[in-house]
Amino acid sequence: MFSRKSYTSVTLRSAGAMVAIFVACSANAQQKAPVDTQEMVLRVCQDPKNLPMSDEQERGFENKIAALFAKKLGWKLEHTWSPQRMGFIRNTLRAKIPDTDTYKCDLVTSVSPGFEMGIATKPYFSSTYAMAYVKGKGLDSIRTPQDIHKLDKATLDKLKIGIFTGTPAADWLVKNKLTKHMVSYQLQTGDRDQYPGQIIENDLASGKLDIAIAWGPITGYFAKNAHGVPIEVIPFPAKADGIRYGFSIAMGVRHGEQKFRDQINMLIDSSRPEIDAILQEYSVPVVTPAPSSSNAAAS
């Protein structure tokens, strides 16, 4: 990855002269060789509006972890912002800055361990889906997701449960015969200003929903930051009744960049205490996922 100087062989009359010239040339090369500044930049592609993972103001936990890695490397941190939805990898990790040979980014901070559009690092955390409700509104007896069936009929009948379609939350409602209570949300609407946390921050906190079920980092963060509304968070087990709720999250690099992947893996290992502290700060429910041949990341 670093440039190498090639030297032409020179026939000299004495070995002493050869040594002297070699040393002089080496010293001169060290003084004049340009610094490869490209290798001193950690280029990261992240979503500009996807708290608690990332945002353009760098307030998310993925922002903080990327900054931590850049600091440990002694590199400058640069971002390319793009909504993490259809076409994200094509438009970021695989795309070059116009009129240059430089890619828009070299690292994506949220991919599945089975990432096929590049190479995945080892997972740096695992979380699970979680249920949330506002305390003091008749649901405080719920301590596990299945406790919903212990509610009295009058309370249960009027429940409005918000979920994102196509997620394990929808599977749970079907499994538990609660689909009539479902209020569906789309993860990707095309609205760049929409973000998943609105289901907690707006609709649950305001009373439009009685319960919301979402990816644990989203649920935990927005419950903690609900502006005075006391919200209880109930994580799902990593796997139960044939439904997987727990998923691992890795980072991604381009195909062919195994050395860089290995470098990021070393950072993940050496930064474990700091990563755990950041996740705790953001109220991310951390779990050990159940073994699976395909541990796809959550939406």
Q: Which two tokens stand for residue 156?
A: 């249960």
The answer to whether position 28 is within a domain reads: no
The answer to whether position 90 is within a domain reads: yes
Examine the domain organization and report whether 99 and 235 are in the same domain.
no
pLDDT cut 90: percent of the chain above it = 76
CATH number at residue 103: 3.40.190.10
Mean pLDDT of 102-109: 97
Cα–Cα dist 56/36, whole Å: 28
Cα–Cα dist 1/29, whole Å: 18
Beta strands 161-164; 182-185: pairing state? parallel
Q: Number of structural domains, the chain?
A: 2
Question: DSSP alpha helices (H): ranges in the chain?
Answer: 15-32, 61-73, 88-91, 153-157, 168-175, 198, 205-206, 216-224, 258-270, 272-281
Question: Does the pLDDT value for residue 99 go beyond 70?
Answer: yes
Q: Which helix (H) or strand (E) element contains residue 251?
A: strand 246-253
Mean pLDDT of 184-196: 77
Question: Does the pLDDT value for residue 4 go beyond 70?
Answer: no
Question: Does the pLDDT value for residue 273 go beyond 60?
Answer: yes
Question: Does the pLDDT value for residue 18 go beyond 70?
Answer: no
pLDDT confidence of residue 85: 86
Give the pTM: 0.83
Beta strands 231-235; 125-134: pairing state? antiparallel
The answer to whether position 289 is within a domain reads: no
Q: What is the DSSP string of 157-177?
A: HT--EEEETTSHHHHHHHHTT
Examine the domain organization and report whether 121 and 133 are in the same domain.
no
Host domain of residue 253: 37-125+247-281
The answer to whether position 275 is within a domain reads: yes
The answer to whether position 142 is within a domain reads: yes
On average, the pLDDT of the chain sits at: 86
Examine the domain organization and report whether 65 and 204 are in the same domain.
no
Query: Which 3 state secondary structure label does DSSP give 232?
Result: strand
Examine the domain organization and report whether 117 and 190 are in the same domain.
no
pLDDT confidence of residue 19: 33
Examine the domain organization and report whether 104 and 56 are in the same domain.
yes
Q: 114-168: per-residue pLDDT in tens?
A: 999 999 999 999 999 999 999 999 999 999 999 999 999 999 999 999 999 999 9
Question: Does the pLDDT value for residue 24 go beyond 70?
Answer: no
Examine the domain organization and report whether 251 and 117 are in the same domain.
yes
Mean pLDDT of 201-206: 93
Q: Please, which pLDDT band fits residue 291 given cuts at 50, 70 and 90?
A: low
CA 275 vs CA 95, 126, 241, 268: distances in Å: 29, 12, 31, 8
Burial group, residue 53, by CB count within 10 angstroms (0-12, 13-18, 19+): buried
pLDDT confidence of residue 10: 38
The answer to whether position 15 is within a domain reads: no
Q: 47-94: per-residue pLDDT in tens?
A: 999 999 999 999 999 999 999 999 999 999 999 999 998 899 999 999
